[in-house]
Amino acid sequence: MTGRTERLRRESLETPPRISAERAVQLTEFYEENAGRWSVPVTRARSFLHLCERKTIHLGDGELIIGERGPAPKVVPTFPELTCHSEEDLRILNSRPKTWYRVDDECLGFYREKVIPYWRGRTMRERIFAELSPEWHAAYEAGIFTEFMEQRAPGHTVLDDKIYRRGLLDFKRDIESALAALDFLCDPEALDKREALKSFAISCDAVMGFAQRHADLARERAAAERDAGRKAELLKIAEVCERVPAHAPRDFHEALQAYWFCHLAVITELNGWDAFSPGHLDQHLLPFYERGLADGTLTRETARELLECFFIKFNNHPAPPKVGVTAAESGTYTDFANLNLGGLLHDGTDGSNEVSHLLLEIIDEMHLLQPSSNIQLSRKSPDAFLKHALQVIGKGYGFPSVFNADAVVQEQLRQGKTLEDARAGGCSGCVEVGAFGKEAYILTGYFNLPKVFELALHNGVDPRTGRQLGPQTGEPESFASFDEVFAAYRAQFRHFLNLKLCGNRIIQRLYATQMPAPFLSVLTDDCIRSGRDYNAGGARYNNTYVQFVGLGTLTDSLSAVRELCYEGMGSTRGPRVTSGGPPDAPVNTTDPVWETAQGLSAGGRKEHAGGVWSSSESAARLFSTEDKRVCVEPAAGAHYSRRNLPHFEKPWAIYHITFSAVDGHQLAPEDREIVMECIRHWDGRRYRLSAACVMPDHVHLIIQPGIESRDVDGEPVFYSLTKILHTIKSFTAHRINKRAERDGGVWQKESFDRFLRSDADLQEKIHYLCRNPWDAGIVAPNEPYPWVWPSEAMANTAEGSTRGPRVTSGGPPDAPANVADTVPGTAQGLSAGGRKEHAGGAWSPTLSLAEFVAAMDRDFTDAEPLRLRLLNKTPKYGNDNPRADELMTWIFDTCVEELDGRPDGRGGSYRVEMLPTTCHVYFGSVTGATPDGRRAGKPLSEGISPVQGADRNGPTAVVQSAAKMDHLKSGGTLLNLKFTPSLVATEEGLNKWGHLVRGYFRMDGHHVQFNIVDADTLRRARENPEEHRDLIVRVAGYSDYFCDLSEALQEEIIQRTEHEGF
């Protein structure tokens, strides 16, 4: 920075933001006098002219680029024609602790006397709200969606290169030609078009007059200036302002000033969302930069100073504050103007250049809140460009963010744009793609996905208010399968999306007819050619977005529901056979997959059990209990496992296992008790026990191993017989030896297992087992033998009914009450981790959805173990876990299927965007506890990022998960990653970081931004590890999860991070 820009920057930072009533008052005066005299477009254009002719203009000391929206830097005008602040709003703005705006008494007086009395009932906000349905209002108030246009006008737009090639006078000639070409004979819209074109021309005059006033001011100041240097600068400013934007700029200075006047004009005419952005500034400025260096009128340093002055202008313009209840909450000063660096040229070659690097240096040095910046990284972008950007990002400002330029082009091609227009496009304020200077792409509001799921879990009722907001899609207990749960969600989703789109149609029409934007239309192709306003579909391309929020929270919630209530490790059902995609909405649709998987009784596994029971298969014995080695072909799907014997492990197989005591060892009754207790202990944890018998010298058991985990593809991995037997044998041996105070082996190493192939086979074996002590003559026929389970009588009962609950379902035997009592861990209520009736581990946790919902409704009060289990033990999005990520794609695909391509109100199409800005906080505040373990009121996940703290496999896993959605079908996704400064401090760390980004983009990722965490974040992580389990820090020569480190080490790293500073 030079001394000048350092001072200007400081002034910009230190000047408190203020509200000015000037624009409101001048506009009110204009409307009081002129409302109704002309057509709406001409009235709007004339009001704009009125403002440009009268508003206070400013030329600060030392400034090179001039012009302010308000009367002075950091002074913000208001837009009562859109939203009129109440006196209370203004007082709140003045007094709120964060992002306050000073409001003086004079301003309040103007509002009280003049502005409010005129605009009450006439603002766009009030007109919009009056037209929307009660259902829309109910959903809006419940926090299911927000509405952008109730606060600001459609905007989100970016300029292309046209103003650097042509002046407003050129555009006026175009307008005149268009007017001349109007066909009043045949075109029914000819009058509308004439009025629009007239408004365009008036707006050009307004802006040129506005520039001339600045030129005059500069000359006036020059005349009074004593300092020769400054005098020359002022004369140059005057010359620049006389030239642009009426004519095309000739040099670097004129180019910047031309843009700035256009910027001011767009944000003065209306208060469009995200202000206005210069787009590919580096590409636009390059010709002027090169020409200046070549002819000696510019140096790198003077160019840099001009750019710094230009940056400060953005920072002088905090966003106009909102009205209504949200005024009490903190917002942000940023107005989301955004620079695109790099990217592609029209011809598809790399667009980064020397000015890109110059801009990166300035972003780094000035680190102002505004303008925001991003790099458009293509396969063709050089690594040096990426690395330079990463160095800046590594400083921890949060910008520039990084976009995939190739994906941005493809997304736009999918939207039907030409290749050239797509390449000249990029991203505007947030992450949405647009054809710069040729498109109206309007964001209409955020959409709360987890809230919709909350309604699906409550039959359409909002549990916060008890109001029936959505359709009745079923009480939780009515969902027989997870697909039915998802179908209910989808039905609710469709309902509220449609409600939102109906509202949008009203709002878009109101803007098209009542609130045109003439000057923005001049800057946007092809409004002049079509004679239509930007807000009425005049642009070459029109797209409308709905921004979906809470993808991570919803994914993890669905995952938890599926895992705990339907198909998880603890479920009695088999895994889903196929996963074709999200089930469709009709609530009563029966998914064919489930029909097969449901089977016979509750939790039946017909599909899988089929292989076990139905015995069209040859009854060839795999192994006999006597014969050790009979070699056969493995059954399909069987896993071969190396142990003492060849074994085949088949999903959901039931085995008869026998193992013997070492030769000569006889188990005392106490020992048999130990063994039986141990076998019973694991029932419901690692296997289901059908029968067991502990004989004095050997043990029989019939078990069905449960699911231990899921492999990398999400397929179930069953407990191996090896593991099961090892646990039983080593534990009992240890206890038996301890009791007898002896050493040495208890059990023979080998065990025998036999895969039971049919119901009859199973019956026979259970029978055999339960009669064994009597048949073997260990006990007399009428004496009891306590180490058989279940008792012979029960076995007979089971045998009596061919499909008794135990045998056919493979379910836990209906043990008598006294047995249940002795099973440790039974009768643990919900509070002990949600195990309703059976002990923990493999089979247990089948929690009914109704109970789960009840626990959430209590915000997990008294159910902390359940909540922790949800946080720690269910599959989470962001870990490259296929089980969870599959659900993420269902949610995303549902958004695309329900929204993408539907017609909007301006002749364009709807598009999906996954963007939260800060709305995940508000949406969280209106959403109760969610099944992922999130407490009521806490923020939702943002963008497509995983839930805060849920990703625990490092950044490549996050990125892999995020890449599983088809980004190219969206119009923008936002991914946040956290890094600590030490990870990216070295050259090598920086390189690897770059490779991470390139890898993500190779998989079509759309955008990623990096939060470089500071010491405060680490402190918060120490206090509240739950939400920060994803934080990786470099310890020394290696990296680790921060929350896994000892307290002392955590403290040390906090100190070090603090020391490194920024």
Partner 1 sequence: MIRGLITNVQRYSVHDGPGIRTTVFLKGCPLNCAWCHNPETISPRPELMVITGRCVRCGQCADACPNHAPVGMGDSPAALVEARADCLVCGACVEVCPADGRRMVGREFTVPELLTKVSRDRVFFEESGGGVTFSGGEPLSQFEFLLAGATACRKGGLHVAVDTSGFALRERFEALVPHVDLFLYDLKSLDDGVHRRFCGVSNRLILENLRWLSANHGNLWLRIPVIPGVNDDPRELAALATFAAGLDGVKQVHLLPYHAVGAGKRERLGASAAGLAFQTPSTAALGAARAVFRKAGLETRIGG
- Catalytically annotated residues: 430, 432
Residue 1046 interacts with partner 1 (CB under 8 A): yes or no = yes
Q: Count Cβ atoms below 10 Å from residue 946 Cβ, excluding itself.
A: 30
Residue 996 interacts with partner 1 (CB under 8 A): yes or no = yes
Residues 745-804 that bind partner 1 (CB under 8 A): none
Left (φ > 0), alpha (ψ -120 to 50) or beta: where does 268 sit? Answer: alpha
Phi, psi of 642 (to 5 degrees): -90, 115
Residue 249 interacts with partner 1 (CB under 8 A): yes or no = no
Nearer residue to partner 1 within complex by CB, 162 or 735:
735
The residue from 227, 347, 988, 1023 that contacts partner 1 (CB under 8 A) is 988
Residue 682 interacts with partner 1 (CB under 8 A): yes or no = yes
Residue 1 interacts with partner 1 (CB under 8 A): yes or no = no
Phi, psi of 531 (to 5 degrees): 65, 25
Residue closest to 427 by CA, chosen among 891, 906, 900, 915: 915
Whole-angstrom distance, CA of residue 366 vs CA of residue 745: 75
Minimum CB separation of residue 684 from partner 1 in Å reads 10
Nearer residue to partner 1 within complex by CB, 266 or 871:
871
The residue from 67, 143, 537, 841 that contacts partner 1 (CB under 8 A) is 841
Residue closest to 420 by CA, chosen among 343, 351, 339, 345: 345
Termini Cα distance of the chain: 18
Strands (E), 479-608: 541-549
Please give the DSSP secondary-structure letter assigned to residue 566.
Answer: I
Residues 618-657 that bind partner 1 (CB under 8 A): 640, 642
Surface-to-core class of residue 301, CB atoms within 10 Å of its CB (0-12 exposed, 13-18 middle, 19+ buried)? exposed
Nearer residue to partner 1 within complex by CB, 120 or 379:
379
Minimum CB separation of residue 723 from partner 1 in Å reads 8
Residues 878-937 that bind partner 1 (CB under 8 A): 880
Residue closest to 515 by CA, chosen among 122, 871, 178: 122
Minimum CB separation of residue 828 from partner 1 in Å reads 7
The H or E element that residue 700 is part of is strand 698-705
Q: How many Cα atoms are found within 13 Å in the side-chain-facing hemisphere of 390?
A: 26
Nearer residue to partner 1 within complex by CB, 758 or 953:
953
Minimum CB separation of residue 996 from partner 1 in Å reads 6
Minimum CB separation of residue 853 from partner 1 in Å reads 19
Strand-pair category, 909-913 with 541-549:
parallel
Question: What Å distances lie between residue 354 and 53, 252, 426, CA to CA?
Answer: 39, 14, 19
Minimum CB separation of residue 1058 from partner 1 in Å reads 16
Question: What Å distances lie between residue 715 and 182, 706, 718, 900, CA to CA?
Answer: 66, 13, 10, 32
Nearer residue to partner 1 within complex by CB, 32 or 670:
670
The residue from 526, 893, 1035, 1051 that contacts partner 1 (CB under 8 A) is 1035
Residues 684-713 that bind partner 1 (CB under 8 A): 685-686, 711-713
The residue from 95, 590, 872, 1055 that contacts partner 1 (CB under 8 A) is 872
Question: What Å distances lie between residue 567 and 560, 563, 588, 685, 716, CA to CA?
Answer: 10, 5, 20, 16, 11
Residues in the interface with partner 1 (CB under 8 A) total: 64
The residue from 1002, 1016, 1058, 1062 that contacts partner 1 (CB under 8 A) is 1002
Minimum CB separation of residue 896 from partner 1 in Å reads 24
Which stretch in 350-358, 481-489, 643-651, 1041-1049 sits in contact with partner 1 by CB under 8 A?
Answer: 1041-1049
Whole-angstrom distance, CA of residue 220 vs CA of residue 59: 11
Residue type, 152: R
The residue from 873, 935, 1019, 1022 that contacts partner 1 (CB under 8 A) is 873
Which stretch in 203-211, 420-428, 891-899, 989-997 sits in contact with partner 1 by CB under 8 A?
Answer: 989-997
Residue type, 989: G
Strand-pair category, 646-649 with 655-661:
unpaired
Residues 942-971 that bind partner 1 (CB under 8 A): 953-957, 960
Nearer residue to partner 1 within complex by CB, 506 or 868:
868
- Whether the ω angle into residue 592 lies within 30 degrees of 0, i.e. cis, is no
Q: Tell me the torsion sign for CA atoms 1049, 1052, 1057, 1058.
A: positive
Residue 865 interacts with partner 1 (CB under 8 A): yes or no = yes
Minimum CB separation of residue 882 from partner 1 in Å reads 10
Residue 539 interacts with partner 1 (CB under 8 A): yes or no = no
The residue from 332, 848, 999, 1019 that contacts partner 1 (CB under 8 A) is 999
The residue from 129, 300, 1003, 1004 that contacts partner 1 (CB under 8 A) is 1003
Question: What Å distances lie between residue 958 and 370, 399, 881, CA to CA?
Answer: 29, 20, 10
Nearer residue to partner 1 within complex by CB, 409 or 724:
724
Residue 1036 interacts with partner 1 (CB under 8 A): yes or no = yes
Residue 1039 interacts with partner 1 (CB under 8 A): yes or no = yes
Q: Report whether 425 contacts 435 (CB < 8 A).
A: yes
**Beta bridge partners of residue 426, listed in sequence order:** 434
Tokens at residue 101, please?
């705006």
Minimum CB separation of residue 706 from partner 1 in Å reads 10
Whole-angstrom distance, CA of residue 918 vs CA of residue 146: 12
Residues 470-489 that bind partner 1 (CB under 8 A): none
Residue closest to 81 by CA, chosen among 132, 19, 154, 153: 153
Residue 673 interacts with partner 1 (CB under 8 A): yes or no = no
The residue from 983, 1015, 1018, 1021 that contacts partner 1 (CB under 8 A) is 983
Residue 253: strand, helix, or coil = helix
The residue from 120, 628, 734, 902 that contacts partner 1 (CB under 8 A) is 734
Strand-pair category, 401-404 with 1007-1012:
antiparallel
Which stretch in 249-257, 537-545, 942-950, 983-991 sits in contact with partner 1 by CB under 8 A?
Answer: 983-991
Tokens at residue 586, please?
């009709």
Residue 1048 interacts with partner 1 (CB under 8 A): yes or no = yes
Per-residue binding string, partner 1, 818-837, x by CB under 8 A, is ------xx--x---xx----
The residue from 864, 966, 1016, 1058 that contacts partner 1 (CB under 8 A) is 864
Residue 341 interacts with partner 1 (CB under 8 A): yes or no = no
Residue 846: strand, helix, or coil = coil
Residue closest to 371 by CA, chosen among 308, 435, 437, 287: 308
Q: Report whether 826 contacts 838 (CB < 8 A).
A: yes
The residue from 839, 899, 929, 1015 that contacts partner 1 (CB under 8 A) is 839
The H or E element that residue 749 is part of is strand 747-755
Residue 37 interacts with partner 1 (CB under 8 A): yes or no = no
Minimum CB separation of residue 641 from partner 1 in Å reads 8
**Residues in Cβ contact with 845 at an 8 Å cutoff, skipping those fewer than 6 apart:** 564, 568, 570, 833, 834, 835, 869
Which stretch in 315-323, 399-407, 426-434, 1034-1042 sits in contact with partner 1 by CB under 8 A?
Answer: 1034-1042
The H or E element that residue 909 is part of is strand 909-913
Minimum CB separation of residue 843 from partner 1 in Å reads 11
**Residues in Cβ contact with 1051 at an 8 Å cutoff, skipping those fewer than 6 apart:** 1022
Minimum CB separation of residue 393 from partner 1 in Å reads 17
Please report, as ranges, the residues that interact with partner 1 according to CB under 8 A. 640, 642, 678, 681-682, 685-686, 711-713, 727, 730-731, 734, 824-825, 828, 832-833, 839-842, 864-869, 871-873, 880, 953-957, 960, 983, 986, 988-989, 991-992, 995-996, 998-999, 1002-1003, 1032, 1034-1040, 1044-1046, 1048-1049
